Structure formats: structure tokens, C-alpha cells
Amino acid sequence: MLPVNPTNFDFHSHSAVSDGFLSPELVARRAAGNGVDLWALTDHDDLGGLDEAKRIATELGMGFVPGVEISIEWKSVPIHVVGLGFDPSHPVLREGLENLRQGRIERAQRMSDALAAIQIHNVFEGAKRYAGNPSLISRAHFARYMVEI
């Protein structure tokens, strides 16, 4: 259920399902605590947190819109498209996001290989420790691990 006249909304937030630090539940609770009336969880290339996010948003009396941030490259330029208000069970969307996640794993492995070539080893395995979702290892997870070493 959506609020009748929302005045505070957030349509771009990430959880640990992609590159955020907090679970979908904690992101929802933080949004509600900051006065958000209408909220969307827009994790990168994954819909895995939407059910939990919707459940908690509803519990807190906050309106919820399903979201995702789709990450692609066009002519070597990264493009991020935020999608809102779609059917999260749509099979074509789910299949497309699965393909994107597979590409992210391959990119992460290439990044790790490039770092190993300059004597920075085991970064892929180290970055996985920071990824709430191993299929969405990102540069942010690499950076967190590299600060540690």
C-alpha cells in the first residue's frame, strides 16, 4: 500500500545484497527512522532483497516500490539504469539479471588477475569476504579488502 501523499521518498538505496553494508531490513528501518514515507530498494543487478524490504517497509508503515539498479556498459562506458515499479517475478527480467551477475563475476576475476600481475595476490577471495552476495563482487568490495591488506 502506498501513502496517499508521500512527502519524503528515497528511490535509490542499496543493501548488502549488492554493494551496501546493511541488510535490506536495516536499510528499511534506517529509511523509516529518517522520515521516508515511500521507499525503493535498488540493489545492483539483483532482486534478492525485495521480499524482505517490502515486508519490513509494510511493517513500519512505509510505502514500498520494487526497484533495481541495472549496471551495463555501452562502448566501454558504464551506465546505471534505475528501474522502479516492475514485476519482480518477471522471467525475462530475472534471466537478464542472472546474465549480468555472471558477467560481474567474470569481470571481478579479471580485475583480480590484473592485480596479481602486479604482485597483489588473492584479492578476489579477499573481496568475497566483503560481498553479501558472492555473485555481485564489485570494485567497492575490492577496495575494502585492499585497505585491509
Span 102-145, pLDDT tens digits: 887 888 899 999 999 999 999 999 988 888 777 778 888 888 89
Q: Other CB atoms closer than 10 Å to residue 70's CB: what's the count?
A: 16
Contact 42, 82 (CB under 8 A): yes
Give the model's pLDDT for residue 83.
97
Q: Return the pLDDT at 2.
A: 60
* Count of helices and strands (H, E) across the chain: 5, 4
pLDDT tens digits, one per residue of 30-85: 999 999 999 999 999 999 999 999 999 999 999 999 999 998 889 989 899 999 99
**How far apart, in whole angstroms, are the C-alpha atoms of residue 108 and residue 141?**
10
- Whether the predicted pLDDT of 1 surpasses 60: no
Using only the alpha carbons of the chain, give its radius of gyration.
Answer: 17
Q: What is the mean pLDDT of residues 81-95?
A: 97
Q: Tens digit of pLDDT for each residue in 6-15?
A: 789 999 999 9
Per-residue confidence (pLDDT) for residue 65, from 0 to 100 = 97
Instruction: Please report the pLDDT score of residue 138 as a whole number.
Output: 80
16-29 tens-digit pLDDT: 998 888 999 999 99
